[in-house]
Structure 1
């Protein structure tokens, strides 16, 4: 398992360097560096705005006692997209940008949600007992001393 991680890491580095060299040969090194910085800043601001919008939708669904699973998976994909966009390099920027697209997020929701066993609980007090039921009791407060 350790060798697999090492092989994948070096493969990732090789792909990043190859893509950067190809882009730098096409547009120049300075412009390639500016593009990497610009995509990181633009991508992170996009993730922030979409993440806040998604958070509001999740809160609305939870307030209406609906299941926010789809929005939760979209939030995870946005978080992963933000992580990929913050890593310098064109390959990770492409992967991060793909995770920002709605069709990719819908595909992930369709593939992941059926595999998750989700139990929802309502937070109101009407779940287990009748609202007219009264429980009486006495208590005394004891000091810890």
Structure 2
């Protein structure tokens, strides 16, 4: 059971190198390396813009006392997309690009929300009191003796 991680890693490296060699044979090694670097830069900028957009939506939902768990899950998908896009290689770039597609992110969010056993509702620590709220009660003042 210990070596499962190593086996998965070597299988990943084998497929990544095989795919790189196939691409390099068809377009050239120099162009293949430029493509890998370009996809990393492009992917980083896409993750940054989508992450900032998602952060803005999350801040709006927090301000309106709405549940923001979908945006948190979408942020985790963006984190994984950024991780896959920064790893050099064509297969990880393809996987990262797939995770950047909003339709795919929606399916991931729906799948995870359906699998969540506990339904939670966002509640702010700040209570919104209106001027017409009346609190009735009786009290007795006790001396400290």
**Partner of 1:72 in structure 2?**
72
Once the two structures are TM-superposed, the CA of residue 70 in structure 1 deviates from its matched residue by: 1.2
1:26-41, aligned counterparts within 5 Å? 26-41=26-41
User: Alpha-carbon deviations, 1:115-138, whole Å to 9, x = none?
Assistant: 2224232222359xxx6449x99x
**Partner of 1:14 in structure 2?**
14
Q: Give 3-state SS (helix, strand or coil) of 1:2's partner.
A: coil
Count how many residue pairs are aligned between Structure 1 and Structure 2.
135
* Cα separation, 2, equivalents of 1:13 and 1:25: 18
Q: Give the direction of change, closer, same or farther, for the CA distance of 1:115–1:76 in structure 2 (3 Å limit).
A: same
TM-score, normalising length: structure 1 = 0.85
* Cα separation, 1, equivalents of 2:135 and 2:8: 61
- Runs of 5+ in structure 2 lacking a partner? none
Once the two structures are TM-superposed, the CA of residue 100 in structure 1 deviates from its matched residue by: 0.1
Q: Give 3-state SS (helix, strand or coil) of 2:125's partner.
A: coil
TM-score, normalising length: structure 2 = 0.85
**Partner of 1:90 in structure 2?**
90
Cα root mean square deviation, aligned: 2.3
* Cα separation, 2, equivalents of 1:14 and 1:57: 40
Q: Give 3-state SS (helix, strand or coil) of 2:3's partner.
A: helix
* Cα separation, 2, equivalents of 1:7 and 1:124: 51
Once the two structures are TM-superposed, the CA of residue 71 in structure 1 deviates from its matched residue by: 1.0
